[in-house]
């Protein structure tokens, strides 16, 4: 397994949505807003962790769909910072609860025993090593990698993986 820098994320909405619905000042207030996403939103601020009880207006795990719905004024969504800080997007969305951070997403490449690492897999892994989470990442469009990514970490796996 090879881990890459984690994708830092934030909460975003349009100014028009926030003007119409109000701006939440505490994560628990998200429960009364139209939220776009899925699963549990775990937000941290220093050592404080809050898991708001959200009933999603629209359920999607695809950040591109969440982005488009947020741009359309549907509600609040979690977006990767590299996506939200894109100059074209940053003009239209504003951060919500900026001091609170959703859990970052760690990208890992899983492959079989290194002695069986095929040349094409090795070339691919070396290629993404050069770009993912670096200032050369083509998704950044002028934003610095240190603003959008966290240090690579091994993900915490839950459950049993017995054969």
Question: What pLDDT is stored for residue 118 in this prediction?
Answer: 82
The answer to whether position 49 is within a domain reads yes
> Is the same domain home to 77 and 130?
no
- Examine residue 27 and state whether it is found in any structural domain, yes or no: yes
Whether residue 70 sits in one domain with residue 11: yes
Provide the pLDDT for residue 139.
87
**Do 114 and 57 reside in the same domain of the chain?**
no
pLDDT tens figures, 42-85: 999 999 999 999 999 999 999 999 999 999 999 999 999 999 99
The pLDDT assigned to 114 comes to 61
Task: Catalogue the long-range contacts made by 37-41 (C-beta closer than 8 Å, 24 or more residues apart).
Answer: 37/61, 37/66, 37/77, 37/78, 41/78, 41/102
Q: Which residue has the tokens 């701006």?
A: 23
Domain-embedded: residue 16: yes
Same domain, 53 and 90: yes
Which residues, 6+ apart, have CB-to-CB distance to 55 below 8 Å? 31, 35
Assess if residue 128 is contained within a domain: yes
In a domain, 155, yes or no: no
**150 in Cβ contact with 6 (< 8 Å):** yes
If one counts the domains in the chain, the total is 2
**20 and 75 housed in the same domain:** yes
* Full domain range(s) for residue 122: 108-150
Q: What is the pLDDT of residues 4-54, one digit of tens each?
A: 889 999 999 999 999 999 999 999 999 999 999 999 999 999 999 999 999
Strands (E), the chain: 2-3, 6-7, 9-14, 35-37, 43-45, 48-50, 58-59, 76-80, 93-96, 101-102, 108-109, 149-150
Confidence category of residue 110, pLDDT binned at 50, 70, 90? confident
pLDDT at 119 over 70: yes
Could you tell me the CATH number of the domain that includes residue 49? 3.40.190.290
The pLDDT assigned to 87 comes to 92
């Amino acid at each position: 397994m090879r881990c890459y820098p984690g994708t830092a994320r934030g909460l975003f909405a349009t100014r028009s949505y926030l003007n119409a619905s109000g701006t939440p000042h505490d994560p628990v207030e998200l429960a009364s807003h139209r939220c776009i996403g899925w699963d549990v939103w775990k937000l941290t601020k220093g050592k404080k962790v809050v898991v708001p009880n959200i009933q999603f207006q629209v359920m999607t795990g695809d950040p591109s769909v969440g982005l488009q719905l947020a741009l359309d004024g549907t509600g609040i969504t979690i977006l990767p910072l590299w996506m939200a800080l894109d100059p074209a997007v940053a003009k239209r969305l504003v951060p919500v609860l900026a001091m609170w951070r959703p859990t970052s997403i760690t990208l890992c490449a899983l492959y079989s025993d290194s002695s069986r690492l095929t040349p094409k897999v090795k070339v691919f892994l070396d290629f993404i090593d050069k770009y993912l989470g670096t200032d050369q990442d083509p998704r950044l469009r002028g934003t610095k990698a240190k603003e959008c990514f966290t240090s690579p970490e091994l993900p915490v796996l839950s459950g049993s993986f017995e054969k």
